[in-house]
Structure 1
């Protein structure tokens, strides 16, 4: 196993003012994290308004579980995403969040996720065919993983329904993120939401198109009804909060579908892209993973039933999520005064959860910048609130099991068939705007892998 470390974000070693922070954040949000955050339980400062970065597991438990009502999603988060996904599960708070969560939960049950596994296997096969067709040329596997996971989410959401223009939604989502996803100085300074943000004005057309397509698809499905194995839209249409008996109306369904489409393909694509980069970075890990995959799969694509028999490949995905968590920084706004790590938090303060720094914290992880999948050989040995790729507490990601099943199916299928090697001088750069992406792509050579006799 290699002793050097894969690519990482250079963290800040000196304080930055408002304008410097804004400029850095617009290029890469993670570049505003002080290096001290990987060595201390909490770091505080002021950039327009008071903020606290929290890395202490007990304090994170307080924010995400014990005092969750006191730490709603921050105004910055809501200002960035509300125009696109409304008061969906990702943004809603309190009672409005709780009833939606209860109504949507059955759609993500183990049985329903397993029922959707054949769609994942088929997408993995198509990805393998595209990579094989590229021949000796280098492949941007990051781009291919985006295509693969978007195929999955489009099929599990709309069953390949002709009423849904997947490419149009994909393009509209990318346009919105590109224009509106960059942090605005107005958001950092806490300006009210009614003050126009230039990026969101520019992205209005893409936003309207995205919502219009989703609305039309929901109404078409209401009229048509389910056919065959229920897909995600069928399950959400049938969903009902068992306590209030409330179901989602068209606008609520549209907002939540767009949330699942964006989160469901982007985060899994990133997990896969970074996992393949790391396997190419460490050939010993890749060989071990390939041996496991070939032993289980015997030349076929992975299935939902195979996932439990591919523990090392799951560990690679877990370690990729540690080193490159898609939601690498999240934030909350304190509603009332509190104390974290013995330090005063005032009402209105921004509480930042820098997941990237938490996952590379020197007091919580041994050799934290190194790629070591065996850290996850015993999941029970991982202390709670030190590893948060999907969050934790009541608001833990509703689609976590869906994402991990898909990641293992695709990763096992590809590693069983190909040997991936890096392209010299083409290392990806970890850059976060809304998610932690490999800037420049993940360019790898892919050779057919020999199979044991």
Structure 2
């Protein structure tokens, strides 16, 4: 795509004010604890790469070719950074999200068949049922403003808990949900200890307070796994069944209880939080642009015709998919990730040294003026023609470590969004515009408050 130089006159959806002046180490730390994205320089939306030194050398990369090298061609040179691992390891252990090398490969090979198209389609009825319950909750509440961030978190947690522990054998959903939310709220607040790369055993303020909740969450998950192993499960296999039956095709190794638990908790944390955010931002954008909303509703009505959307409907709803893609472009749930270079390299003609932090700010990549026309505008039709370079759009990452549940998340988002549009009309609540803030994920701070009326 080429840069469009004309200024868009239409109002733009909410965005993060990016940095125009150097901040220094202390300023960057303070800003990152409020909103990680606020440390991105505005220059990152106008150049392919920005470098600097804030305690240690860092590089922000917005170039598709360099992204391809980091995520695919020279993958082993760019493992997840120490900061990322320190933030997430207390909750999800050495699951495939954190593991590196051989430990990652065997887990990925074991879990990959779980998310085959057939298995994801078999789980679609769970998504449809959760969408129907969401419509019922909103409708029964009557004509009032609803925080659709909270509603979508509830809906997607319904889905992930049903497809993970569908039997519910002793699985305390509310307890696990609260523990996850509490940990995410504190875990993503970057500590100075993380910046300095200090080991996990050095206590982090805030995170230590919620350690008991995380420990209890793991205990509950362990008990549910043991119960399933002892009793088995009837009906459509859920994620736990599929993982219990899975084995690495090369080594024939199977996951033990701890490995199953860490990976299931990874799916639960990532599987409901990121999809809930995608849906909340999509609804905000649809309320922001009523013309797009009506067009989307017309498409849904032509397919769903009074029913709840199903897995079979997803392929027949291309405009709904475009809305989801555009929401993921403007507000990628993982707005920024970082890697630590293990050896020398070159990106965009610049020297990369061992130990350098290499940052992929997806938020800036998706709004880079060299790659996108009117990058801050909500334009779902940009997805109707030629798609951008694969490494210019990375809501799920890419390469061998691309999000294993991407197809699951897209199917879920389209089913839920279509069902909501078939039944409800959304209008903004004045004075309640959300603020995009990234702690661990890019959330609409203050919620997504919308009036929802039956159609």
| TM-score, length of structure 2 as denominator length | 0.97
Q: How does 1:278-289 map to 2 (within 5 A)?
A: 278-289=285-296
CA shift at 1:176, angstroms?
A: 1.3
Stretch moving more, 126-135 or 397-406: 126-135
What corresponds to 2:403 in structure 1? 397
1:272-293 Cα distance to aligned partner (Å, 9 max, x none)? 0000000000001000000000
What corresponds to 2:106 in structure 1? 99
Q: How does 1:306-317 map to 2 (within 5 A)?
A: 306-317=313-324
What corresponds to 1:271 in structure 2? 278
CA shift at 1:2, angstroms?
A: 8.5
CA shift at 1:179, angstroms?
A: 2.4
Instruction: Check whether the contact 2:169–2:228 (CA below 8 A) recurs between aligned residues.
Output: no
Runs of 4+ in 1 over 6 A off after TM superposition: none
1:37-82 Cα distance to aligned partner (Å, 9 max, x none)? 0111111111111110000100000000000000000000000001
1:258-277 Cα distance to aligned partner (Å, 9 max, x none)? 00000000000000000000
How many residue pairs get aligned? The number is 448
d(CA) in 2 for partners of 1:180, 1:242: 35
What corresponds to 1:339 in structure 2? 346
What corresponds to 1:300 in structure 2? 307
Instruction: Check whether the contact 1:280–1:420 (CA below 8 A) recurs between aligned residues.
Output: yes
Instruction: Check whether the contact 1:49–1:189 (CA below 8 A) recurs between aligned residues.
Output: no
What corresponds to 1:447 in structure 2? 453
d(CA) in 2 for partners of 1:365, 1:376: 11
What corresponds to 1:438 in structure 2? 444
1:296-333 Cα distance to aligned partner (Å, 9 max, x none)? 11111000000000000000000000000000000000
Flag the 1:89–1:186 CA change in 2: closer, same or farther, 3 A: same
d(CA) in 1 for partners of 2:136, 2:208: 41
Q: 359, 366, 371: which is aligned to 2:373?
A: 366
CA shift at 1:198, angstroms?
A: 2.1
Q: 359, 383, 386: which is aligned to 2:389?
A: 383
Stretch moving more, 306-315 or 205-214: 205-214
Question: Is the aligned partner of 1:150 residue 2:140?
Answer: no
What corresponds to 2:218 in structure 1? 211
Instruction: Check whether the contact 1:179–1:202 (CA below 8 A) recurs between aligned residues.
Output: no
1:162-198 Cα distance to aligned partner (Å, 9 max, x none)? 3211111010111112222210111112223333222
Question: Is the aligned partner of 1:134 residue 2:156?
Answer: no
d(CA) in 2 for partners of 1:281, 1:127: 21
- Give secondary structure in 1 for the equivalent of 2:154: helix
d(CA) in 2 for partners of 1:73, 1:375: 31
Instruction: Check whether the contact 1:180–1:203 (CA below 8 A) recurs between aligned residues.
Output: no
CA shift at 1:447, angstroms?
A: 1.3
CA shift at 1:131, angstroms?
A: 1.1
Q: How does 1:183-202 map to 2 (within 5 A)?
A: 183-202=190-209
CA shift at 1:369, angstroms?
A: 0.1
d(CA) in 1 for partners of 2:207, 2:139: 40
Instruction: Check whether the contact 1:430–1:436 (CA below 8 A) recurs between aligned residues.
Output: yes
d(CA) in 1 for partners of 2:218, 2:359: 30
Unmatched segments (≥5 aa) in structure 1: none
Instruction: Check whether the contact 1:154–1:160 (CA below 8 A) recurs between aligned residues.
Output: no
What corresponds to 1:26 in structure 2? 33
What corresponds to 1:325 in structure 2? 332
What corresponds to 1:108 in structure 2? 115
What corresponds to 1:124 in structure 2? 131
- Give secondary structure in 2 for the equivalent of 1:408: helix
- Give secondary structure in 2 for the equivalent of 1:381: coil
- Give secondary structure in 1 for the equivalent of 2:94: coil
CA shift at 1:417, angstroms?
A: 1.0
What corresponds to 2:425 in structure 1? 419
| TM-score, length of structure 1 as denominator length | 0.97
d(CA) in 1 for partners of 2:218, 2:398: 29
Question: Is the aligned partner of 1:245 residue 2:255?
Answer: no
Unmatched segments (≥5 aa) in structure 2: 1-7
What corresponds to 2:364 in structure 1? 357
d(CA) in 1 for partners of 2:70, 2:406: 20
Instruction: Check whether the contact 1:2–1:282 (CA below 8 A) recurs between aligned residues.
Output: no
